A and B are shown apart, each in its own frame.
Chain A
Amino acid sequence: MDPSRRAPRAVIDPIPKIRQVGFFAPPERSQSGPPDPTHSSPPISSSLSPVMIPPPRHLSDNLLLHAPRPASSPLSAAAAAGGSGNSFDYGAVFFPAPLSPAIPSSSYSSRIIATTGEGGFFKGNGAGGGKVAASSFPRGGFDLTAMKKAAAASVVVPASELTTVSVVNDSLGIPEKEKGNKAGGSAVEVKDQPNSSKQQKPKLSKAERRALQESQRAAKAAAKGEGSKASGTVATMNAKPAKAVKPAQKVDNAAVAASEKKGGEIPPEKDRKKDAPQPRMQYDDKSRVEKAKRRAVVKQTEARNRVELFRHLPQYEHGSQLPDLEAKFFHLSPVHPSVYKVGLQYLTGDIAGGNARCIAMLQAFQEAIKDYKVPHEKTLVRDLTAKISSYVSFLIECRPLSISMGNAIRFLKSHIAKLPLTLSESEAKASLQSDIERFISEKIILANKVIVKHAVTKIRDGDVLLTYGSSSAVEMILLHAHELGKQFRVVVVDSRPKLRGQLLLRRLVEKGLSCTYTHINAVSYIMHEVTRVFLGASAVLSNGTVYSRVGTACVAMVAHAFRVPVIVCCEAYKFHERVQLDSICSNELGNPDVISNVLGREDVKHLDGWANIENLQLLNLVYDATPSDYVSMIVTDYGMVPPTSVPVIVREYGREQVWI
Chain B
Amino acid sequence: MWWRSASFIMDRQRNEEADLKGDSSNPNPNPNISAYYETRAAHHGVVTSDWLAQAQAAIGPDPVPDPNPEPEPQLRPDPDKPFSVIDEFNSWRKQPHLAEAVAAIRALAAVIRSSKATTMMQLEIELKKASDFLKSWDTTSISLTAGCDLFMRYVTRTSALEYEDFNSAKSRLIERAEKFGEISYKARKVIAMLSQDFIFDGCTILVHGFSRVVFEVLKLAAQNNKLFRVFCTEGRPDRTGLRLSNELAKLDVSVKLLIDSAVAYTMDEVDMVFVGADGVVESGGIINMMGTYQIALVAHSMNKPVYVAAESYKFARLYPLDQKDLAPALRPIDFGVPIPSKVEVERSARDYTPPQYLTLLFTDLGVLTPSVVSDELIQLYL
Residues of A within 8 A of B (CB): 458, 460-464, 487, 528-529, 531-532, 565, 567, 632-633, 638-642, 644-645, 648-649, 652
Q: Given A462-B11, A487-B11, A639-B317, are A645 and B375 neighbors across the interface (CB < 8 Å)?
A: yes
Chain B residues whose CB sits within 8 angstroms of the CB of A641 once the complex forms? 282, 374, 378
**Top 4 A-B pairs, shortest CB-CB distance:** A644-B371, A640-B319, A645-B374, A565-B321
Tell me the chain B residues, 327-382 only, with Cβ under 8 Å from chain A.
355, 371, 374-375, 377-379, 381-382
11 contacts between A and B (CB under 8 A): A458-B321, A461-B11, A462-B2, A487-B11, A529-B2, A531-B2, A567-B321, A640-B319, A648-B375, A652-B378, A652-B379
Residue of A nearest to B355 (CB): A642
Q: Given A462-B11, A648-B378, are A528 and B1 neighbors across the interface (CB < 8 Å)?
A: yes
Q: Given A487-B7, A638-B378, are A632 and B321 neighbors across the interface (CB < 8 Å)?
A: yes
- Tell whether, in the assembled complex, residue B325 and residue A639 are in contact, meaning their CB atoms are under 8 Å apart: no
**Complex alpha-carbon distance, A644 and B374, angstroms:** 8
Tell me if B211 is interfacial: C-beta within 8 Å of chain A.
Answer: no
- Tell whether, in the assembled complex, residue B319 and residue A648 are in contact, meaning their CB atoms are under 8 Å apart: no
CB distance from A566 to the nearest CB of B (A): 9
Tell me if B322 is interfacial: C-beta within 8 Å of chain A.
Answer: yes
- Tell whether, in the assembled complex, residue B371 and residue A532 are in contact, meaning their CB atoms are under 8 Å apart: no
A461, A641, A645: most-surrounded residue (chain B CB, <10 A): A645
- Tell whether, in the assembled complex, residue A649 and residue B3 are in contact, meaning their CB atoms are under 8 Å apart: no
**Complex alpha-carbon distance, A644 and B321, angstroms:** 16
Residue of A nearest to B14 (CB): A461
CB distance from B363 to the nearest CB of A (A): 17
Chain B residues whose CB sits within 8 angstroms of the CB of A460 once the complex forms? 324
Q: A462-B3, A462-B8, A463-B2 are in contact. List 16 more A-B contacts (CB 8 A).
A: A458-B321, A458-B325, A462-B5, A462-B11, A464-B2, A487-B7, A528-B1, A529-B1, A532-B321, A633-B319, A638-B378, A639-B381, A641-B378, A642-B374, A648-B375, A652-B382
Tell me if B283 is interfacial: C-beta within 8 Å of chain A.
Answer: yes
Tell me if B284 is interfacial: C-beta within 8 Å of chain A.
Answer: yes
**Complex alpha-carbon distance, A478 and B101, angstroms:** 36
Chain A residues whose CB sits within 8 angstroms of the CB of B322 once the complex forms? 565
**Complex alpha-carbon distance, A648 and B321, angstroms:** 21
Chain B residues whose CB sits within 8 angstroms of the CB of A528 once the complex forms? 1
CB distance from A639 to the nearest CB of B (A): 6
CB distance from A534 to the nearest CB of B (A): 12
**Complex alpha-carbon distance, A460 and B321, angstroms:** 12
Chain B residues whose CB sits within 8 angstroms of the CB of A532 once the complex forms? 321
- Tell whether, in the assembled complex, residue B1 and residue A648 are in contact, meaning their CB atoms are under 8 Å apart: no
Q: Given A458-B325, A648-B375, are A640 and B282 neighbors across the interface (CB < 8 Å)?
A: yes
- Tell whether, in the assembled complex, residue A642 and residue B378 are in contact, meaning their CB atoms are under 8 Å apart: no
**Complex alpha-carbon distance, A140 and B379, angstroms:** 30
CB distance from B136 to the nearest CB of A (A): 18
Residue of A nearest to B317 (CB): A639
CB distance from A589 to the nearest CB of B (A): 35
**Complex alpha-carbon distance, A531 and B382, angstroms:** 30
CB distance from B318 to the nearest CB of A (A): 9
**Complex alpha-carbon distance, A458 and B374, angstroms:** 18
Chain A residues whose CB sits within 8 angstroms of the CB of B319 once the complex forms? 458, 633, 640
Chain B residues whose CB sits within 8 angstroms of the CB of A529 once the complex forms? 1-2
- Tell whether, in the assembled complex, residue A633 and residue B321 are in contact, meaning their CB atoms are under 8 Å apart: yes
Residue of A nearest to B6 (CB): A462
**Complex alpha-carbon distance, A249 and B307, angstroms:** 71
Tell me the chain B residues, 1-31 only, with Cβ under 8 Å from chain A.
1-3, 5, 7-8, 11
- Tell whether, in the assembled complex, residue B321 and residue A638 are in contact, meaning their CB atoms are under 8 Å apart: no
Chain B residues whose CB sits within 8 angstroms of the CB of A640 once the complex forms? 282, 319
Residue of B nearest to A486 (CB): B11
CB distance from A616 to the nearest CB of B (A): 44
Pick from B7, B282, B284: contact of A639, CB under 8 Å = B282
Chain B residues whose CB sits within 8 angstroms of the CB of A638 once the complex forms? 378, 382
Residue of B nearest to A643 (CB): B371
CB distance from A655 to the nearest CB of B (A): 10
Residue of B nearest to A639 (CB): B317
- Tell whether, in the assembled complex, residue B8 and residue A642 are in contact, meaning their CB atoms are under 8 Å apart: no
**Complex alpha-carbon distance, A227 and B176, angstroms:** 77
- Tell whether, in the assembled complex, residue A461 and residue B7 are in contact, meaning their CB atoms are under 8 Å apart: yes
**Complex alpha-carbon distance, A645 and B2, angstroms:** 31
Chain A residues whose CB sits within 8 angstroms of the CB of B321 once the complex forms? 458, 532, 565, 567, 632-633
CB distance from B322 to the nearest CB of A (A): 7
Chain A residues whose CB sits within 8 angstroms of the CB of B5 once the complex forms? 462
**Contact mask B268-283 → A, CB, 8 Å, 1/0?**
0000000000000011
Residue of A nearest to B374 (CB): A645
A529, A632, A648: most-surrounded residue (chain B CB, <10 A): A648
**Complex alpha-carbon distance, A652 and B2, angstroms:** 40
CB distance from A591 to the nearest CB of B (A): 38
Residue of A nearest to B382 (CB): A652
CB distance from B320 to the nearest CB of A (A): 9
**Complex alpha-carbon distance, A498 and B322, angstroms:** 34
Pick from B7, B282, B382: contact of A462, CB under 8 Å = B7
Chain A residues whose CB sits within 8 angstroms of the CB of B355 once the complex forms? 642
CB distance from B214 to the nearest CB of A (A): 25
- Tell whether, in the assembled complex, residue B3 and residue A639 are in contact, meaning their CB atoms are under 8 Å apart: no
Chain B residues whose CB sits within 8 angstroms of the CB of A461 once the complex forms? 7-8, 11
Pick from B11, B284, B381: contact of A642, CB under 8 Å = B284
CB distance from A220 to the nearest CB of B (A): 59
Chain A residues whose CB sits within 8 angstroms of the CB of B1 once the complex forms? 528-529
Chain A residues whose CB sits within 8 angstroms of the CB of B7 once the complex forms? 461-462, 487
CB distance from A96 to the nearest CB of B (A): 35
**Complex alpha-carbon distance, A461 and B374, angstroms:** 28
CB distance from A558 to the nearest CB of B (A): 16
**Complex alpha-carbon distance, A639 and B324, angstroms:** 20
**Complex alpha-carbon distance, A645 and B284, angstroms:** 11
Chain B residues whose CB sits within 8 angstroms of the CB of A633 once the complex forms? 283, 319, 321
Residue of B nearest to A565 (CB): B321
**Complex alpha-carbon distance, A532 and B377, angstroms:** 25
Pick from A464, A645, A649, A652: contact of B371, CB under 8 Å = A645
Chain A residues whose CB sits within 8 angstroms of the CB of B8 once the complex forms? 461-462
CB distance from B37 to the nearest CB of A (A): 25
Pick from B284, B325, B379: contact of A648, CB under 8 Å = B379
**Contact mask B283-306 → A, CB, 8 Å, 1/0?**
110000000000000000000000
A487, A528, A639: most-surrounded residue (chain B CB, <10 A): A639
Chain B residues whose CB sits within 8 angstroms of the CB of A565 once the complex forms? 321-322
CB distance from A212 to the nearest CB of B (A): 65
Residue of A nearest to B377 (CB): A639
